[in-house]
Amino acid sequence: MIAARINALARRVPAAALYILCALPVPVLFYMGATGGLGPEPIKALEQELGKIALQLLVAGLAITPLRRIAGINLLKFRRALGLMAFFHVVVHLLVWAVLDVQIVAQIWADILKRPYVTVGMAAFVLMIPLALTSNDRALRWLGARWRVLHRLTYGIAVLGAIHFLWLTKGFQIEPLAYLAAILGLLALRIRRLPMKKALGQGS
Amino acid sequence: MAYRWKNDLSARDVTPEPVFLNRRQWMAGMAGMAGGVALAGIGGRARAAGEGEGLEPNSWEDITTYNNYYEFGTGKDDPHKYADRLSIAPWSVQIDGLVDRPGAYDFDDIMARMTIEERIYRFRCVEAWSMVIPWNGFELGDLLDMAGVQPGAKYVAFETVLDKEAMPGTRYPVLDWPYVEGLRLDEAMHPLTIMATGIYGRDIPKQNGAPLRLVVPWKYGFKSIKSVVRITLTDSEPPTSWNKANPREYGFYSNVNPEVDHPRWSQATERRVGGGIFSPRIGTLMFNGYGEDVAGLYDGMDLTRFF
């Protein structure tokens, strides 16, 4: 019932709308940062907000498949927008970190090599690049079945992103653990599918 | 005995409120301007900082809305939002251990016996941000003298109030509550070490550690324990909260030291809070700029080992 209604609504909303909606936080956050809306230390606030939105978009992207399989809600046409907008936020997050926060070129490089949480975040960013480059219909056709395999990198990227967040916090904090739990939970829903398939295969 | 320490930052360094407000407006305007103009501004400010200038205290708003007081939550604005729930009157400080006159010292009685003076100090957080804060308070040494430190005492242990009802952050095991800190006795008796009871001549706000908190300006901010309810003189090094949580990252001494990095980030530079979106990084000073006064406390110690 609800699933059908959501599906009907989703059919009417063009994916382009999601790009605009998901890009909106970036100008809004910069405006707030420049006008005092993010508190007395806007650089860190901006950096952290952008990182969290990227994680939220990754979680949303990972939820698409289980939603369809378990609840019958089909939001597949929005998945590309979610992934690309996650990448967009990661790029801006990285730029804010490098240009506004660290500021010193030698220090940026040193941090990537020396600070494990930066290394992990950077690895997630690098792994996202091929996915962003192949998020178009031409690449999809060109890669065929390999596209699916390549885009499973998302699983690793999301886990790295959550570890990056967890690793940079002080003390025992709930928020990064919640992201990690959500991501691992969504991945676990996929693992269960494998033995089920096998069972079905043996049955037939 | 008050007025033992002479400040190199004077009342003239405190920005009058109207000037400060104008500057805020100017900064907001600047941030809205074209990037090129703003970037030219960065160069100018970075140079000024390098010459030791630009040491003007942060605004009341900066100091009272950007806080680490995890008992109220881990967000920087959580203490400002929730600290009002804490009741601070009546307040007493239990002073015990190796003292001649142990007991519960009423806050009002303490205030009646102490001489309050202004101390404009740099404040450097272990997270690599900093402020300049015009504290009002008295020297910790004077309070300890009031209780009578016994010859066997070598360390001072401090404890923050733990009010689970009023402190939403204590529902989570972010740290092992209550928050505890410690100093070596010579550090505690140093004239730079104060118990702050005010900021900008007003009562210290609850998010900043009302009614009284420690301020040790040459150490990372987390040493400057807030809302103190207990002070214990001991003969052995007392446990400290962050060291208990992660001994690899937080030592007992925690002196500001640009040469000893936090395992997860560099301590070589810092950013002064309140500088807006293009706020430049400035070099962190050894002992937060108080080396002349305190370096002697650590003669012969390997500061990479005793971090």
* Helical axes A42-66 vs A79-95, angle rounded to 10°: 160
Q: Is B90 on the interface with A (CB under 8 A)?
A: no
pLDDT for A199:
52
pLDDT tens for chain B, 307 residues: list them: 677 777 776 665 665 554 554 454 444 434 433 333 333 333 333 333 333 445 799 999 999 999 999 999 999 999 999 999 999 999 999 999 999 999 999 999 999 999 999 999 999 999 999 999 999 999 999 999 999 999 999 999 999 999 999 999 999 999 999 999 999 999 999 999 999 999 999 999 999 999 999 999 999 999 999 999 999 999 999 999 999 999 999 999 999 999 999 988 899 999 999 999 999 999 999 999 999 999 999 999 999 999 9
What are the extents of the domains in chain A? 2-194
pLDDT in tens, A146-159: 999 999 999 999 99
| Token pair 């967009």: residue | A88
Q: Point out the residue among B74, B129, B278 whose CB comes nearest to the CB of A173.
A: B74
Residue A71 carries which side chain, given as an amino acid letter? A
Q: Which residues of A80-98 are buried (b: 16+ CB within 10 A; e: fewer)?
A: bbbbbbbbbbbbbbbebbb
Q: Point out the residue among A34, A107, A168 whose CB comes nearest to the CB of B264.
A: A168
Ordered by where they begin, the domains of chain B are: 55-298 (3.90.420.10)
Instruction: Residue window 27-66, chain A: list those with CB within 8 Å of chain B.
Output: 30, 33-36, 39-46
Q: Is B28 on the interface with A (CB under 8 A)?
A: yes
**Preferred mutation among B264, B269, B272, B282 to probe A, highest tally of A CBs within 10 A:** B264
Cα–Cα distance measured from residue A80 to residue B24, given in angstroms and rounded to the nearest whole number = 42
Bond prior to B173 in cis (omega within 30° of 0): no
